[in-house]
Structure 1
Amino acid sequence: MKSFDLKRMAFDEMPPDFLLEVAIRSVYTFILVFLFLKITGRRGVRQMSLFEVLIILTLGSAAGDVAFYHDVPMLPVLVVFITLAALYRLVMWLMSHSEKLEDLFEGKPAIVIKDGEFAWEKMKAQNMTEFEFFMELRLRGVEHLGQVRLAILETNGQISVYFYPDDRVRPGLSILPQYCNERFEVIPEKGDYACIRCSEVLAFNAGTKAVCPRCKRQQWVKASTAKRVT
């Protein structure tokens, strides 16, 4: 076998006119996926649950195989699509009649901020990085956690945010990028400071070197009391 053989890299052992068959197979699988999404009444990708993502990935695998591999017949793939559509409908029906099954497939919403601070025990169990979480909050106009009365991580990965009115905003951890917030291990002046890890807010005197009682971290930022700009 010759290395960097352009003909082999482009066609392998397939004749050039196989490209036309690939195009036809691709149209075929596109139509199947389109019909599946129409039948199941799909929502946006951001609204998909874990179960629905699994169904779409399985469909994608079947569609990719039949589109590119000449030895994969087209009719069995149609059976795969029909079976998955029937399975999806069946699971949706079962979930509508069983809360336990719905929790198994869809998961449960989780409170991640309560009263301006992380619900730390629940936050640790969520498969979401601090960077992603803070970005989602910033996109909703949040500057610091003290503005947030309640935040719920929904089963589709989106975050529902409920705000305090301006006259009830409390000191909270700033969620602006790190370069916007100076961090301290020794408190420089008297005031309210937030733990950079778990968002616990405590009042300190100047010169204090404190360990967070919740997460045992020793870095703090000055708590923000900024009102929301709407």
Structure 2
Amino acid sequence: MKTLDWERMLLNELPTTFMLEVAVRVLFAYLLVFAFLKLSGRRGVRQLSLFELVVILTLGSAAGDVAFYEDVPLLPIAGVFFFLLLLYRATLWAMDRFPRVGLWIEGGPVTIIRDGQYDMPALRQQNISCDEFFMELRQLGVEHLGQVRLGILEVDGDLSLYYYSDEMVRPGLSVLPEEFKSCYRKVPDSGMYACSTCGAIQLMLQEQQGVCERCDNEHWTPALESTRCH
């Protein structure tokens, strides 16, 4: 086999007119995926659950095959889409009829913030890093955890937050990037400090060194008490 054979790399043994067939196949795959999304009732990608994402990836694989391979006939691919739609509808029916099935397939909402502190085991269980978690909070207008009364990770990956009123905001761990907060092992001044690992709040005296009771961390950052900007 000749290396860097452009004729083989571009079309191999296919005629140039096969590009017209590729266009027809892509249009066919596009219409099938579009029809599936319309029939399934999805309005947007953000609404996709884990099960629905698996279905879409399966559709994408089938659509890719029919678009690029000349030996893949169209009708079997249409059958794949049809039976996937039936499977999708049957699974939704089972999830609605039997709640345990839905819980097994998609999981349930997970509480990751409670009373201004986040749940580290819950984050680890969901394979979410602290940096990713803090980024999500910043995008929702949160400056520190003390502004949040309850945070729930929904089954579709969205984060639902329930805030304290301005009068009820408590000291909390800053979610800003590291360049905007200081971290100490021996605190320079007396005041409220947040554990840099788990967000636990503790009153500390000047030059005091402390060990967090929740996670045994020894590093602290000044707790913020600012209210949210409305």
TM (norm. structure 1) is 0.97
The reply to whether residue 213 of structure 1 matches residue 216 of structure 2 is no
Deviations 1:23-69 (A, max 9, x none): 11000111111111111111311111100000000000000011001
Alignment coverage as a number of residue pairs: 230
For 1:53, the equivalent position in structure 2 comes to 53
SS across alignment from 1:124: helix
How far the C-alpha of 1:211 sits from its partner, in A, is 2.0
TM (norm. structure 2) is 0.97
For 2:67, the equivalent position in structure 1 comes to 67
Please give the alpha-carbon distance, in whole angstroms, between the structure 2 residues aligned to 1:70 and 1:211: 66
Please give the alpha-carbon distance, in whole angstroms, between the structure 2 residues aligned to 1:126 and 1:13: 48
Is this contact kept in 1: 2:32–2:78, CA < 8 A? yes
Is this contact kept in 1: 2:123–2:129, CA < 8 A? no
Structure 1: gaps spanning 5 or more residues: none
For 2:84, the equivalent position in structure 1 comes to 84
For 1:192, the equivalent position in structure 2 comes to 192
For 2:95, the equivalent position in structure 1 comes to 95
- Counterparts of residues 4-153 of structure 1 (less than 5 Å): 4-153=4-153
Please give the alpha-carbon distance, in whole angstroms, between the structure 2 residues aligned to 1:181 and 1:201: 15
Structure 2: gaps spanning 5 or more residues: none
Please give the alpha-carbon distance, in whole angstroms, between the structure 1 residues aligned to 2:190 and 2:123: 29
The reply to whether residue 176 of structure 1 matches residue 181 of structure 2 is no
How far the C-alpha of 1:77 sits from its partner, in A, is 0.6
Please give the alpha-carbon distance, in whole angstroms, between the structure 2 residues aligned to 1:53 and 1:94: 18
Please give the alpha-carbon distance, in whole angstroms, between the structure 1 residues aligned to 2:73 and 2:140: 48
Moved >6 Å (runs of 4+): none
SS across alignment from 1:221: strand
Question: Identity over aligned residues, as a percent?
Answer: 48
